[in-house]
Structure 1
Amino acid sequence: MSTVEDWTTHDTTAPAHEPLVIDDQDNQTFRVHRSAMTSAEVHRAEVERVFGHSWLYVGHESEVPKPGDFVRRNLAGRPIFMVRGAKSRDVNVFHNSCTHRGALVCRQDSGNSKVFQCFYHAWSFDSEGKLKGVPDREGYSNGLDFDRLSLAKVARVDSYRGFVFACFDADVVDLPTWLAGAKEYIDLVVDGCGGSVEIIKGTNEYSFDANYKLLIENSADGYHAASTHDTYFKYLVSIGTDLQGGVIGQAVKLGNGHAVIEYSAPWGRPVAKWEPLFGEDAKVEIDRIRAELTERYGAERAHKMCEVNRNLIIYPNLIINDIMAVTVRTMFSPAPNRVDVTAWELAPTDEVPSLRERRLDSFLTFLGPGGFATPDDVEALESCQTGFSSGGVEWNDISRGMGRGPMANDEQQMREFWRRWQQQMGDAADLGGAR
């Protein structure tokens, strides 16, 4: 076991002969060793074992609607880009590396291009990844195999309801199998937006000093809301929102590390739940949307879309928060005590301007970079990461709710993430020096 001296660094020592996650069903306790958030060896193993063999969210098909449209992304530390093929019309995902000497071939965050030219030696590739141009090709006496030198595609690419995922492992299970029960909740999000959605242009990108898994936990943690976001609730009261009844809901296991908390809450939802923040003139339009959803999907399903909030964890690093706005958020730790976050806002395609304005305002008010929630959460998670270096305590406790039904402010959703994480990571004794 680690000593007090071990805890004075940010590289907490992992237990030598125990798993990093202890799931004791008999005693209804669940613990996670803090080295999972601090150890450099654990982090290196995690990049290979978790992110190297999991389906990872790349982007949304709506971001590349036309042939040649592209977006550049960092996928678990690897530069890639997604582009709509001019011939196939498929969404292609390529390793962002020239097959000549390795330089980036896509050097802009987004745009449209028929050709991607490496600035180093001017080799050029089309939107299907095919090598098209090589200066002074006569210099290759044996010729060039243009097919072999095409851009490398990420091993597996697939999409569900417009959400594009990729995996570096060619042998991974198919995407629908991987998503398991999460598909039902993606359906609720998309159908609640009328069946056709788009990512609104622009991203919310930020970094802070904590491990990404702390933000995974936080993103679906109903327990912290009342204390950490007290200012937001006071704000709601000040604009006339009735907070009586509070937050009522449950946590649901969805398989393969995915989980969700679904709950009713006093705040409004741009889908079709009015609140004073939206203004009186919005009531008619919201009633119209609710009526259309009820007619299309029936009263029970429409109620879920309009009234029920969802904080969805899609393992290992995608969060879809369908709350007072629909936010799609990914996170990755380039180092154990650092996390890079990218968030987008999802909305119905061709939404009328007044509704879009209300949706964006809801997003920025709570989840935006200067909103009520994000600064609070950053402060809380950086405080946790700093506290890990204090010493004296080796394990985080995530047992809340094991002895009762899975309420929305319990921790079952976090336990599902950690159980899958432990399966992929194995014991600490097998981490190549983590001890």
Structure 2
Amino acid sequence: MVDDLREGLLPAAVFHDREVYDLELRRIFAKSWVYIGHETEIPNRGDFVTRNIGEDPFILIRDEQDELRVLLNACRHRGAQVCRVQAGNTKGFVCPFHGWAYRNSGELIGVPVRSQGYASLDLKEWNLFAAPHVTNYMGLIFANLDPDAVPFEEYLGDYKWYFDIQFALSDGGMEVLGEPHRWLVDANWKQGAENFCGDSSHTQMTHRSVLEAGIIDSVAAGAPKEGTGLHVHDCSGHAISIRQLPGEAPFISYPEEVTHHFHTGVLSQDQFDLAKRSLLHNGTLFPNFSFLHIGLSDSPQKPQTGFLTLRVWQPKGPGQMEIWNWVLAPREASPEYKRRAYQVGMSSFSPSGSFEQDDVAVWPGVTRTAGTVFAELNKVRFNYQMGMGDMSTSKPLTDWVGPGVANSTNAGEGGLRTFHKTWYERMTNTKIEIGDHD
């Protein structure tokens, strides 16, 4: 497979092979920093939501000491789920099977008929299992199941430069609007994750109807163009796509009522200036956390509205994923603006969103093809060579202000190749060089 990656090719089997998928759960999801939720979803002590890491069920909760915990949703007695609702507020959990009781910190505090059946049981040894690493980074809560995991900021690496722009631009940070939407798609989880690494060339085809309807800026979503779009890849294993208007200040379509809260308190001047001239940013933090910072409208007669949408591409088997989608806006924005941002976000990226209907119509075809007998017998490989080496008419920018490899055109698939290179390295625990010059 290394030789294929060096040629910009990818075996189709990685999108629909049960053995590959089972290894992903163990070598990627059990060892990576995975997004669990946002702090504004659980603002009060006792607030909780249920989430997944890979296919394992967890409870994200703010306990009575205001500590964020990620607890395995399984009773220590016989493994039954102790929580069977998606969200709520509680001081503790009682297993519906045999009644073992736990504080919201996961501490076991009660066992029925203990004096008769569990006289010598040490309760302290039977607390709920918990993720060994949990971090709150600018309101984003990530967990890692690997006891030997590197710290989250080390995992971010140089990608922190771009990541922080999305979440530290405003004084008060970002706020989740409403509950996350989720829906099933008959496609492999990597389809969505790689797409957000920088698949700009699909927009003018897959989303043609959206462009014709005029609900997105033509420069932001049009065909790849020198000087306005660029891809940044090979950035500590992660990637991002950026659309900008040099010499102008669209500020991701946020109005002045919102942008006057933007600052350089956390960001450098270069980061702030990039945000100022940007129309959109979309990227993926490996493995399955993606973001899109963009301005859209639900009508050509209404102005573009800036918002941030977060994505988790939740694996549900080799041929299915569950998409989780959050809409966020700066905390300082007015209630009216937040309502508008949520409305626009839902009209574009949700189970019935205009963009969503396009993507989920084509992604399943890739997974179906990957699962065909023909693909297996003929060792079919998919082409990821766009913008690679001699395929590209442009070269990496030498004066780019940020980290990673940046090209002056987004007519390439360098971000997707970065994603699959990282995937291969995590699956095999082997570092490789693929000589990618996109």
Closer/same/farther in 2, CA of residues 173 and 244 from structure 1, 3 Å limit: closer
Check if 1:402 corresponds to 2:388: yes
Residue 369 of structure 1, aligned match among 335, 351, 375: 351
Q: Superposition pairs for residues 284-433 of structure 1, below 5 Å?
A: 286-293=255-262, 301-308=271-278, 309-324=280-295, 325-349=307-331, 351-388=333-370, 389=372, 391=375, 392=378, 394-403=380-389, 404=392, 405=395, 406=407, 407-426=409-428
Q: Superposition pairs for residues 193-342 of structure 1, below 5 Å?
A: 193-219=170-196, 220-236=198-214, 246=222, 248-253=228-233, 255-264=235-244, 273=253, 286-293=255-262, 301-308=271-278, 309-324=280-295, 325-342=307-324
What are the superposed Cα offsets for residues 321-365 of structure 1, whole Å, 9 maximum, x if unpaired? 112231111113222111111111122225312211221122123
Distance 2:29 2:220 in 1: 42
CA positional deviation for 1:298: 8.5
Distance 1:228 1:180 in 2: 33
1:175 maps to 152
Which letter maps to 1:373?
F
Closer/same/farther in 2, CA of residues 379 and 244 from structure 1, 3 Å limit: closer
CA positional deviation for 1:227: 0.9
User: In 2, are the aligned partners of 1:21 and 1:32 still within 8 Å (CA)?
Assistant: no
CA positional deviation for 1:241: 5.6
User: In 1, are the aligned partners of 2:138 and 2:168 still within 8 Å (CA)?
Assistant: no
Q: Superposition pairs for residues 24-35 of structure 1, below 5 Å?
A: 24=6, 29-35=7-13
Which letter maps to 1:322?
H
What are the superposed Cα offsets for residues 134-186 of structure 1, whole Å, 9 maximum, x if unpaired? 12111235422111011111122122112111111101111110011232223
Distance 1:295 1:422 in 2: 37
User: In 2, are the aligned partners of 1:131 and 1:147 still within 8 Å (CA)?
Assistant: yes
Unaligned runs of 5+ in 2: 296-306, 396-406, 430-438
Distance 2:221 2:130 in 1: 51
2:300 maps to none
User: In 1, are the aligned partners of 2:258 and 2:330 still within 8 Å (CA)?
Assistant: no
Distance 2:262 2:236 in 1: 30
Distance 1:254 1:96 in 2: 36
Which letter maps to 2:35?
Y
Compute the TM-score of the two structures, normalised by the length of structure 1. Answer: 0.83
What are the superposed Cα offsets for residues 66-89 of structure 1, whole Å, 9 maximum, x if unpaired? 1111111122100101111202x1
User: In 1, are the aligned partners of 2:230 and 2:242 still within 8 Å (CA)?
Assistant: yes
User: In 1, are the aligned partners of 2:169 and 2:264 still within 8 Å (CA)?
Assistant: no
User: In 1, are the aligned partners of 2:211 and 2:221 still within 8 Å (CA)?
Assistant: no
User: In 2, are the aligned partners of 1:57 and 1:164 still within 8 Å (CA)?
Assistant: yes
Check if 1:130 corresponds to 2:100: no
1:143 maps to 120
Residue 194 of structure 1: SS of its match in structure 2? coil
Distance 1:37 1:201 in 2: 32
Closer/same/farther in 2, CA of residues 141 and 335 from structure 1, 3 Å limit: closer
Residue 200 of structure 2: SS of its match in structure 1? coil
Unaligned runs of 5+ in 1: 1-18, 275-285, 428-435
Q: Percent identity?
A: 27
User: In 2, are the aligned partners of 1:64 and 1:83 still within 8 Å (CA)?
Assistant: yes
Closer/same/farther in 2, CA of residues 398 and 350 from structure 1, 3 Å limit: same
Closer/same/farther in 2, CA of residues 338 and 202 from structure 1, 3 Å limit: same
Residue 351 of structure 2: SS of its match in structure 1? coil
1:5 maps to none
Distance 2:352 2:379 in 1: 33
Check if 1:64 corresponds to 2:42: yes
Distance 2:158 2:250 in 1: 25
Distance 1:184 1:223 in 2: 25
Residue 22 of structure 1: SS of its match in structure 2? helix
Q: Superposition pairs for residues 68-107 of structure 1, below 5 Å?
A: 68-87=46-65, 89-107=66-84
Equivalent pairs counted in the alignment come to 390
Distance 1:172 1:211 in 2: 26
Distance 2:216 2:155 in 1: 43
Compute the TM-score of the two structures, normalised by the length of structure 2. Answer: 0.82
1:40 maps to 18
Closer/same/farther in 2, CA of residues 21 and 96 from structure 1, 3 Å limit: farther
Distance 1:70 1:240 in 2: 36
User: In 1, are the aligned partners of 2:93 and 2:104 still within 8 Å (CA)?
Assistant: yes
Distance 1:21 1:197 in 2: 42
Distance 1:270 1:170 in 2: 43
Residue 322 of structure 1: SS of its match in structure 2? strand
CA positional deviation for 1:242: 6.0
How well do the aligned residues superpose, as a CA RMSD in angstroms?
A: 2.7
CA positional deviation for 1:100: 1.0
